[in-house]
Amino acid sequence: MVDWKNVRLIYGDNTLEHIAKHKVSLSEVHNVLDGYFISYRINASGVLRYLILGESYGRVLIVILEPVGTNEMQLVTAFDASESRKKLYRNKAKK
């Protein structure tokens, strides 16, 4: 079980450039992880990753993280959620 409140985010300049192409900033990623979010375990070509669905400044974003150590997650990417995922998030966030 991931202790999300104590996760340390790992990233490099390439990752920051990559998320910037999606018009997402690092502060938005932190806002998602600091607020209410929904996490899903996913398998990406045999690699465990987490799809995080959350909100930052009114935007619903998807953040993809890969575990790299105890309470450490590598930021893989972040981008705007699809309309169906936004609806899912907003319905769950209201409860």
Query: What is the Cα–Cα distance from 86 to 56, expressed in whole angstroms?
Result: 12
Of 93 and 16, the one with more pLDDT: 16
Q: Which domains does the chain have, with CATH numbers?
A: 4-94 (3.10.450.530)
pTM (predicted TM-score):
0.94
Task: Tell me if residue 46 falls in helix, strand or coil.
Answer: coil
The per-residue pLDDT for range 60-76, each reduced to its tens digit, is 999 999 999 888 999 99
Report the pLDDT value the prediction gives residue 15, as an integer from 0 to 100: 97
Query: What is the Cα–Cα distance from 20 to 39, expressed in whole angstroms?
Result: 22
**Region for residue 58 given its phi and psi (left: phi exceeds 0; alpha: psi -120 to 50; beta: otherwise):** left
- Mean pLDDT score of the chain: 95
Residue 8 predicted with pLDDT over 80: yes
Of 5 and 64, the one with more pLDDT: 64
